[in-house]
Amino acid sequence: MISISSNYRWMPTNWLNMTLGAYGYHMHGYSDAYDKPMDNRGRSFLVYGVGTTYLNKQRTWSAEISTQYQSKESYALHTTTPRFYLHAGIKYVALKGKLNLSVQVQNLLHNDVGYTQMTPQGYSLHQTDYVYRTLKLSVTYNFGGSIKKNVFPASNVLYNRLGE
C-alpha cells in the first residue's frame, strides 16, 4: 500500500471547530491461495470530517458529529463496496479534564459493507457484512499528571557539538 494524507483544522469561533481530512492510496494484493495466483490492485480514497461545538463557556459540554466516506478497496482476493458513516455524540469533561463522559450514536445511516470475491475460474462471490446502529457509552479517567521534560532545540545541540 502506498498512501498520501492531508488534514485541515478550522476554528472559526471559540465555540466551534472542524477537522477535514483525506487519504488517497494505491493497494496491490497478491495471493496464491488458489491453484492460479490472484493479483488485484486499485486506487482508493477516504475523506472524513469532524465538527465539534462547545455548549457552554467553560467547554465542559460539547456535541460532535463525524462522517466518513470510503471508496471501494481492492484486496488480493476481494473488492469492497464504497461506504459512508455518520456518528453523533455528546461529551462532558470534569475534574479539570481528567474525567470524560460521552454518549455516541454510531452508524446513523445503517450502512452495510459488501464484498465481491473473484475466483480464478471467473466466478464472483458476493457477501454482505451488516453494520448496525450502536450506542457507545464511554467513561475515561486520566490518573497521571503532566510529564516534565527539558526541551533542547536540535539546532543548539548541533551547534554545541560542532563547537567542540
CA distance 65 to 35: 47
Q: What is the mean pLDDT of residues 106-132?
A: 80
Domain of 22?
A: 2-162
Contact 23, 1 (CB under 8 A): no
* Per-residue confidence (pLDDT) for residue 36, from 0 to 100: 72
Contact 62, 97 (CB under 8 A): no
Total domain count, the chain: 1
3-state secondary structure 80-135: ECCEEEEEEEEEEEECCCCEEEEEEEECCCCCCEEEEEECCCCCEEEEEECCCCEE
54 or 109: which leads in pLDDT: 54
Contact 30, 14 (CB under 8 A): no
pLDDT in tens, 52-102: 999 999 999 999 999 999 988 887 777 888 889 999 999 999 998 899 999
Q: Torsion angle of alpha carbons 146, 103, 91, 13, nearest 10°?
A: 120
* Per-residue confidence (pLDDT) for residue 15, from 0 to 100: 92
